[in-house]
Amino acid sequence: MQLRYNYRLDPSPGQIAALSRVFGCARVVFNDALRLRQDARTAGLPYLSDGELSRRVITEAKRTPEREWLGEVSAVVLQQALADLNTAYRNFFSSLSGKRKGRKVSPPRFRSRKDNRQAVRFTKNARFTVTAGRKLRLPKIGDVAVRWSRDLPAAPSSVTVIRDAAGRYFASFVVRTTDEAWPPVESDTGIDLGLTHFAVLSDGTKVTSPKFLRRAHRTLRRLQKELCRKKKGSSNRRKAVVTVARAHARVADARRDWQHKLSTAIIRDNQAVYVEDLCVTGLGRTRMARSVHDAGWSQFVGMLEYKAARYGRTFACVDRFFPSSRVCSACGVKDGPKPLAVRGWTCLACGTVHDRDVNAARNIRAEGRKVTAGQAETVNARGAQVRPAPMPAPRRETGTRQKLTPTAA
């Protein structure tokens, strides 16, 4: 399977200027290609092929005085910018036709030079190498110092140089590795994700939510207030933007590190892991939005999924409409709905006293076993378009209803 290995870079001032030039050239090529395709669509011309697009915005553009500086960077970076545009169009067309699962994808948009996050990709054709001195040699940039936290398991097929909003530089290597199957174990577990307790396992283990964003909220609010007081376009405002981005980066890094450690421990100790498919987008629109985004459920579930595939474990998602909190895990009787304030309840059929979260985790484990065996029932439309299509309002409903005035008899 393909994995990404991220490492921190320490470029020199000259290399930072060279990287900024590379970011700008890739952004210009992407925007020029997008403009050509939009103009062709507006004029009713055929869809521009990839080869024609490359010839216009790269080969011929380098010969013009307005774009001759494109030759100062590696041509592979410019070709990869066009590849990103083609991928965005394919995703958009697949979303329109229904081939792409998930939410609808919008058409590609222009890249802004004011975006604090920039990225470029070097493939094997660019001939990037890791030198004997353990530096990353990039074409027309030089040997960049790397903070090697661990060795690469194999030769990388590509590397993406990223500058985040906090002004940090990273190298993301794509490496194809072989699966490392861990010794099998007997146990399996169901996980009920929540807010008070980040995760409750079916064996009764409760993992308290660290709430990284809540703990840093006062600091973030103070820094954001200082940013709002700075004059737009000033140097102090640019410095304040970086300060706020670094504070958010510390929160995101701490959350990611904690979730990596927890997901690795769960995958190591269980042969099969089952979770509930939560609608994080919908929950993010409720009054609990800050706590939901602070928890980072989607990122954690993604870690469990790829680590299970890598280490030979079983992973399955239970349908989000499965009533895990309403079913008694002892006798299987379905009780009525319960508000979130009810943290424990007693089954009227068998008299078993349940903890709400532990009972839900046990039901998720039981349903996950059925999903793995192919015995689970479909309780929703499974991605079908169930929302009614928009319709124009009748003519009598448009506008404002005028107030009637009494007439004299």
Burial class (CB in 10 A: 0-12, 13-18, 19+), 401: exposed
Query: Look-up: residue for tokens 């990037």?
Result: 128
Cα 323-327-332 angle, rounded to 5 deg: 130
Sorted by sequence, the CB contacts under 8 Å of residue 119 that are 6+ apart come out as: 23, 160, 161, 162, 163
User: Can 377 be counted among the known catalytic residues?
Assistant: no
Q: From residue 393, how far is each of 171, 396, 399, 400, 402 by CA, in Å?
A: 53, 8, 10, 13, 18
CA dist 252 and 303 (Å) reads 15
CA dist 88 and 261 (Å) reads 33
In residues, how long is the chain? 409
Sorted by sequence, the CB contacts under 8 Å of residue 234 that are 6+ apart come out as: none
Q: Which of 32, 84, 192, 367 is catalytic?
A: 192
β-strand pairing of 314-318 with 272-276: parallel
Q: With beta carbons less than 8 A apart as the criterion, state whether 193 and 273 touch.
A: no
Sign of CA dihedral 332, 336, 341, 344: negative
CA dist 279 and 380 (Å) reads 13
Q: Which of 276, 294, 305, 367 is catalytic?
A: 276
DSSP state of 335: -
CA dist 161 and 173 (Å) reads 9
Q: From residue 360, how far is each of 156, 203, 275 by CA, in Å?
A: 43, 11, 10
CA dist 42 and 302 (Å) reads 40
User: What is the identity of the amino acid at 203?
Assistant: D
Q: From residue 40, how far is each of 35, 36, 67, 110 by CA, in Å?
A: 9, 6, 21, 16
User: Can 357 be counted among the known catalytic residues?
Assistant: yes
Query: Look-up: residue for tokens 């008694």?
Result: 328
Burial class (CB in 10 A: 0-12, 13-18, 19+), 372: middle
Q: Which two tokens stand for residue 167?
A: 């002004």
Q: Which of 84, 294, 357, 367 is catalytic?
A: 357
Q: Which two tokens stand for residue 168?
A: 């940090």
User: Can 10 be counted among the known catalytic residues?
Assistant: no
* Catalytically active residues, by annotation: 192, 276, 357
